[in-house]
Amino acid sequence: MQAPWGKRRGLEAADGSPREYPLVCHLCDTAAAALVLWEDHTAPGVREWVANELDMTPHEAGRFIAYLAGLHDIGKTTPGFQCQDSTDKNSVDTIRHEIASYLAVPTLIEHPEKPASFISGIAHRIGEILGGHHGVFPPVDRRTRKPLHVPELGGPEWDTARRTIHTELRAHLNPTLPTCLPQPVAAALTGLVIVADWIVSDARWILESQWDAPIGIAARWEHTLNATRARVHQLGLAHPTPGPLDLARILGGPNRSPNPLQQSIIDDFHPTGPGLLTIATPTGSGKTETAWIAAHKLATATDRYGTLMCLPTQATTNSMWARTSATVDNTVTLAHSMAVFHSPYRHYSTHDPDALRWLNGRKRPMLSAHAVVTIDQLLAAGLTAKHNMVRQWALTGKVVIVDEVHACDIYMLTVLARVLEWLGRLGVPVVLLSATLPGHVSRQLTAAYLTGAGCSSPNPRPVAYPGWVWHPITGSPVEPRNRAQISRAHARTARVTVTHYTGPVEAAAANAIQPVAKNGGCAAVVCSTVDTAQRIYIRIRDTYPGMCVWLLHSRFPHAHRAEIEADIVSMFGPAGDRPDGVVVATSVIEQSLDVDFDVMISELAPVALLFQRLGRVWRHDNPRPAWATEPTLHILDRDGALPYGPAAIYRDSLRELRATRAALAGHGTLIRIPEDVSTLVQQVHNRDLDDLNDLQSQRERRDAGLANIVAIPNPHQLGHLETMTCPDVDDATVAARLGMDTIRLIPAHIGIDGRYYLDPKHEIPYPQGRPPHRFVEAALNASITCPAHWVRDWPTNPDWAGTHLADTVLFPNTCHDGLRLDPELGLVKGNQ
DNA sequence: AACAAAAAAAAA
Ligand SMILES: [Fe+3]
Ligand SMILES: [Fe+3]
């Protein structure tokens, strides 16, 4: 039989005629790449951890992993694959080649263990790893006959051909087969094999580096090892070498001294291995720097020197990326769906184009030792989505930092808890950052990590606010000795009052900002719904004609919203000129804007959110108008039934909404920060999920249940690897977040020539065919996001499939079907 | 009187 071929795509000769790259060459390349990844990409702590799990030395483990990778495409040695374009195509049975690898390998490798059946034992698990090399684990083959007799694998001559390759590989690598191979380790190693395969499947690299190398494994090994090592380093995949903690750089200057929180991490936090550190602190307390200091200690303690920073929004992720890349010498990737449109990152990517072009590919950014990502990227590792094992592998060599944990809803928390179980199991240290965290959430996440790490009866200690708690995987929790000092650093008092209004909320809001209208100063009015914000804005604008009023919500064109936010920060941010006026906004205001108002008016909301908002009152050290004697938040509420807007928005948290009312009434208007914040948040939000059976609890259990359906199994309850990935479910249905779907509207102004234009002046025409990057960027900047069910059956542009404009709809003349884009109000529904 | 904000769905 002729030597089987392995690759053809992209390898055609200059005249276009097909050329074949021998299978044994591709397998040798992959084996070498895996060995290089093991040596240079894998964190030393991970090498040791894997070796322990496999009960081998790290050196043996590396050989074994190279051997695994060297077998991944052995299933291409089948009649169906090798003869796929011959004339008698229909006479041979075909089978996907990764399935063929899964079926053939367990027998091929001659593992000394004698399992009861094909599907039990280490050999089968090794088969599953190889069968999973396209990102989905193979369905377990429960047929009773011997796999050797599966007709798709071909007759004895095919078996011989596979044995020939296997013998050559084994003779060269001389691998030791493991006697234990736990499922979570197998899943992570599958990720490593996949990355090796990706690296050596680049057609240009094959042609430039490998095409003329000798065919035999032994003969080409040295060359290939050197070539793949160069490639791994070129792609930015080398693991960083540890360095000393550069405190001055982290704190932003040699003269900066750490604050009490940071000092307590320096003094009292001494990890000796993996564990979970939970830090609960107000924003603006230097928690990022605190996390970096802690991460450095954790990296040293676990010999894993990568970092992964996860945040809830693209905007905060972008700014965290800027800070991180300025603080870290190594490459830092940015990962979210719109990262390619973040121009500082595009520019940064041109500094090291070889590495970043590769790392910025789909599912790859987290493979960089340092990455800043939306939390969705992390959660995707815990969903039964294709290639989740690549993400799991990417997590192993890092300290994982999750910021703003308090922003997660029940669904996300459930997935996060599952990811934490896995991180515990994989020995990955984790830092959670949060504002006040309800006790039951803190306990749930800690218990998840500890049980994942193998603690049978964890006794988690909830984090005190402000402060931190460290749960090592063995031993008892550790807290800072100087918590009083940390607390004192944030001490202040504030006033939270409740105004009961009758009649329209616009009137109540207009009334509440009277001092600003009369005597100057600045106020923010935070509304529950966009519609309310628009109405209140109009009312205030018309009631006080001389006063400045700004409107901010999420239903402006993307670039317009960015402009408004920039304006507001330039006025009320750290170095703002603080003009007199009122900002009317929705909850966008509490997202990431570092702004400071003299007073704030807010519709009713759960108390944790109210405190987020209160954080924007008297935030910086600014002069105040005479009428503003203390930081104050006025809450607008009705007597009796909950007001319409808040009841609609927080319909799944009505219990917290009512509890907030009661708690504020019981507490009185004086708030001592931080202790009252902690007390009230716990009073309103802390509970156990199962102790009630009202509608809200049922919904919460439903959401948690939905999360458990799309999440991967608990690492300790994992049977066959097939349950890790759902072959029939596409990535869109396995989502990291639940909730109303949103959609982007792209302005489509119709010109006299009948063509579409992005802008009302008809200067930017829609391009023919596939849109260039510049147009896509302009269209996204002009796009307006709204609930998807508002625009059922709106026109779409088929030319945009496969670009970032896929799944958008056209907004004819920005006035269509009851929706209208108002230059002042943003997207308006109905006839306002 | 029908609803904030937030993210995301292509590899060898
Ligand atoms: Fe393959
Ligand atoms: Fe391959």
Query: Which nucleotide is closest to the Cα of A504 by its C1'?
Result: B1
Tell me the average pLDDT across A463-469.
96
Tell me how far apart the alpha carbons of residues A80 and A26 are, in angstroms, rounded to a whole number.
19
Asked whether the predicted pLDDT for residue A701 surpasses 90, the reply is: no
| Residues A378, A514 within the same domain | no
A807 CA → B1 C1’, Å: 30
The reported pLDDT for the residue numbered A253 is 86
Q: Is residue A594 part of a domain?
A: yes
A628 CA → B4 C1’, Å: 29
CB atoms within 10 A of CB A760: 12
A367 CA → B3 C1’, Å: 39
CA of A73 to the centre of ligand 1 (A): 5
Q: Which residue is nearest to nucleotide B6 (CA to C1')?
A: A313
Give the residue carrying structure tokens 């954790």. Answer: A298
**3-class state of residue A21 by DSSP:** strand
**3-class state of residue A84 by DSSP:** coil
| Residues A118, A212 within the same domain | yes
Tell me how far apart the alpha carbons of residues A598 and A716 are, in angstroms, rounded to a whole number.
53
| Residues A479, A496 within the same domain | no
Share above pLDDT 70 across residues of chain A, in percent, rounded to a whole number? 97
Two tokens at A108? 């091929």
Share above pLDDT 90 across residues of chain A, in percent, rounded to a whole number? 85
Q: Is residue A299 part of a domain?
A: yes
CA of A161 to the centre of ligand 1 (A): 18
Please report which ligand is nearest the Cα atom of A21: 2
Two tokens at A12? 């055609």
A477 CA → B12 C1’, Å: 45
Split at pLDDT 50, 70, 90, the class of A94 is confident
The reported pLDDT for the residue numbered A148 is 59
CA of A38 to the centre of ligand 2 (A): 18
Query: Which nucleotide is closest to the Cα of A732 by its C1'?
Result: B9
Q: Which residue is nearest to nucleotide B4 (CA to C1')?
A: A587
| Residues A459, A501 within the same domain | no
Residues 6+ apart with CB under 8 A from A511: none
A376 CA → B8 C1’, Å: 8
C-beta of residue A261 within 8 angstroms of C-beta of residue A486: yes
Tell me how far apart the alpha carbons of residues A541 and A513 are, in angstroms, rounded to a whole number.
12
The reported pLDDT for the residue numbered A147 is 61
Query: Cis ω on the peptide bond leading into residue A260 (within 30° of 0)?
Result: no
Q: What is the mean pLDDT of chain A?
A: 93
CA of A134 to the centre of ligand 1 (A): 6
CA of A224 to the centre of ligand 2 (A): 16
**Structural domain count, chain A:** 4
Q: From residue A786, how far is each of A197, A327, A638, A790, A814 by CA, in Å?
A: 41, 37, 29, 7, 13
Tell me the average pLDDT across A36-43.
98
- Residue A574: domain span: 492-673
CA of A7 to the centre of ligand 1 (A): 9
A787 CA → B9 C1’, Å: 17
The reported pLDDT for the residue numbered A691 is 62
Strands A332-335 and A370-374: parallel
Out of A641, A673, A705, a domain closes at A673
CA of A370 to the centre of ligand 1 (A): 28
Q: Is residue A636 part of a domain?
A: yes
Two tokens at A116? 């009861």
Tell me the average pLDDT across A192-209.
97
Please report which ligand is nearest the Cα atom of A134: 1
The reported pLDDT for the residue numbered A120 is 87
What stretch of H or E contains A277? strand A275-280
CA of A29 to the centre of ligand 2 (A): 9
The reported pLDDT for the residue numbered A755 is 94
Query: Which nucleotide is closest to the Cα of A198 by its C1'?
Result: B12
> What does DSSP assign to residue A499?
E
Query: Which nucleotide is closest to the Cα of A505 by its C1'?
Result: B1
Q: Is residue A681 part of a domain?
A: no
Closest C-alpha to A191, from A105, A132, A236: A132
Amino acid identity at A696: Q
Split at pLDDT 50, 70, 90, the class of A43 is very high
A167 CA → B9 C1’, Å: 42
Tell me how far apart the alpha carbons of residues A677 and A607 are, in angstroms, rounded to a whole number.
9
Which value does ipTM take for this structure?
A: 0.93
CA of A197 to the centre of ligand 2 (A): 5
Tell me how far apart the alpha carbons of residues A443 and A439 are, in angstroms, rounded to a whole number.
6
Q: From residue A583, how far is each of A524, A534, A596, A598 by CA, in Å?
A: 5, 11, 11, 11
Over the stretch A619-658, which tens digit does the pLDDT of each residue have?
Answer: 999 999 999 999 999 999 999 999 999 999 999 899 999 9
CA of A56 to the centre of ligand 1 (A): 28
Tell me how far apart the alpha carbons of residues A330 and A332 are, in angstroms, rounded to a whole number.
6
What stretch of H or E contains A522? strand A522-526
A734 CA → B9 C1’, Å: 9
Split at pLDDT 50, 70, 90, the class of A731 is low
Q: Which residue is nearest to nucleotide B9 (CA to C1')?
A: A732
Asked whether the predicted pLDDT for residue A92 surpasses 80, the reply is: no
Please report which ligand is nearest the Cα atom of A30: 2
3-state SS, A536-557, equals: HHHHHHHHCCCCCEEEECCCCC
In the beta sheet, which residues pair with residue A821?
A: A827
Q: Which residue is nearest to nucleotide B8 (CA to C1')?
A: A337
CA of A95 to the centre of ligand 1 (A): 12
Query: What CATH number is associated with residue A148?
Result: 1.10.3210.30
What stretch of H or E contains A441? helix A439-452
| Residues A474, A504 within the same domain | no
A459 CA → B8 C1’, Å: 36
A744 CA → B1 C1’, Å: 25
Tell me how far apart the alpha carbons of residues A265 and A474 are, in angstroms, rounded to a whole number.
19
Tell me the average pLDDT across A785-809.
93
Chain-centroid distance of CA A213 in Å reads 41
> What does DSSP assign to residue A500?
E
Q: Which residue is nearest to nucleotide B2 (CA to C1')?
A: A648
Q: Is residue A708 part of a domain?
A: no
> What does DSSP assign to residue A115?
-
The reported pLDDT for the residue numbered A20 is 93
Query: What CATH number is associated with residue A323?
Result: 3.40.50.300
Please report which ligand is nearest the Cα atom of A197: 2
Tell me how far apart the alpha carbons of residues A258 and A263 are, in angstroms, rounded to a whole number.
6
CA of A811 to the centre of ligand 2 (A): 44
Split at pLDDT 50, 70, 90, the class of A144 is low
Query: Which nucleotide is closest to the Cα of A647 by its C1'?
Result: B3
Backbone angles phi, psi at A561, to 5 degrees: -60, -40
| pTM of the predicted model as reported, rounded to 2 decimal places | 0.96
Out of A628, A648, A673, a domain closes at A673
Amino acid identity at A55: D
**Share in percent of chain A as helix, strand, coil (round to 5):** 45, 15, 40
**Nucleotides of chain B touched by protein CB (<7 A):** 1-12
Please report which ligand is nearest the Cα atom of A196: 2
A657 CA → B10 C1’, Å: 44
Tell me how far apart the alpha carbons of residues A154 and A718 are, in angstroms, rounded to a whole number.
32
C-beta of residue A641 within 8 angstroms of C-beta of residue A685: no
| Residues A633, A780 within the same domain | no
Residues 6+ apart with CB under 8 A from A481: A264, A267, A268
The reported pLDDT for the residue numbered A42 is 98
Burial of A653 (0-12, 13-18, 19+ CB in 10 A): buried
Out of A629, A644, A673, a domain closes at A673
Over the stretch A496-534, which tens digit does the pLDDT of each residue have?
Answer: 999 999 999 999 999 999 999 999 999 999 999 999 999
Q: From residue A137, how far is each of A72, A98, A186, A418 by CA, in Å?
A: 13, 9, 11, 19
Split at pLDDT 50, 70, 90, the class of A692 is low
A788 CA → B8 C1’, Å: 14
Tell me how far apart the alpha carbons of residues A635 and A655 are, in angstroms, rounded to a whole number.
18
Q: How many helices (H) and strands (E) in chain A?
A: 31, 23
Q: Is residue A164 part of a domain?
A: yes
Query: Which nucleotide is closest to the Cα of A407 by its C1'?
Result: B6
Query: Which nucleotide is closest to the Cα of A98 by its C1'?
Result: B12
| Residues A555, A421 within the same domain | no
The reported pLDDT for the residue numbered A690 is 55
Q: Is residue A380 part of a domain?
A: yes
A803 CA → B10 C1’, Å: 11
Q: Is residue A57 part of a domain?
A: yes
C-beta of residue A594 within 8 angstroms of C-beta of residue A614: no
| Residues A745, A663 within the same domain | no
| Residues A16, A82 within the same domain | yes
CB atoms within 10 A of CB A660: 28
Please report which ligand is nearest the Cα atom of A23: 2
Asked whether the predicted pLDDT for residue A141 surpasses 90, the reply is: no
Asked whether the predicted pLDDT for residue A552 surpasses 80, the reply is: yes
CA of A193 to the centre of ligand 1 (A): 11
A31 CA → B12 C1’, Å: 15
Please report which ligand is nearest the Cα atom of A130: 1
The reported pLDDT for the residue numbered A178 is 97
What stretch of H or E contains A831? none
Please report which ligand is nearest the Cα atom of A98: 1
Split at pLDDT 50, 70, 90, the class of A88 is low
| Residues A276, A327 within the same domain | yes
| Residues A379, A508 within the same domain | no
CA of A62 to the centre of ligand 2 (A): 19
The reported pLDDT for the residue numbered A700 is 87
**3-class state of residue A332 by DSSP:** strand
Helices marked H in A244-308 — which ranges? 247-251, 260-268, 287-302
**3-class state of residue A211 by DSSP:** coil
**3-class state of residue A361 by DSSP:** coil
Asked whether the predicted pLDDT for residue A420 surpasses 60, the reply is: yes
Tell me how far apart the alpha carbons of residues A512 and A645 are, in angstroms, rounded to a whole number.
18
C-beta of residue A109 within 8 angstroms of C-beta of residue A72: no
Asked whether the predicted pLDDT for residue A584 surpasses 60, the reply is: yes
| Residues A450, A570 within the same domain | no
Q: From residue A76, how far is each of A5, A26, A96 by CA, in Å?
A: 8, 11, 8
Split at pLDDT 50, 70, 90, the class of A58 is very high
Closest C-alpha to A56, from A172, A179, A170, A171: A179
Q: Buried b / exposed e across A119-135, counting CB within 10 Å, b at 16+?
A: bebbbbbbbbbbbbbbb
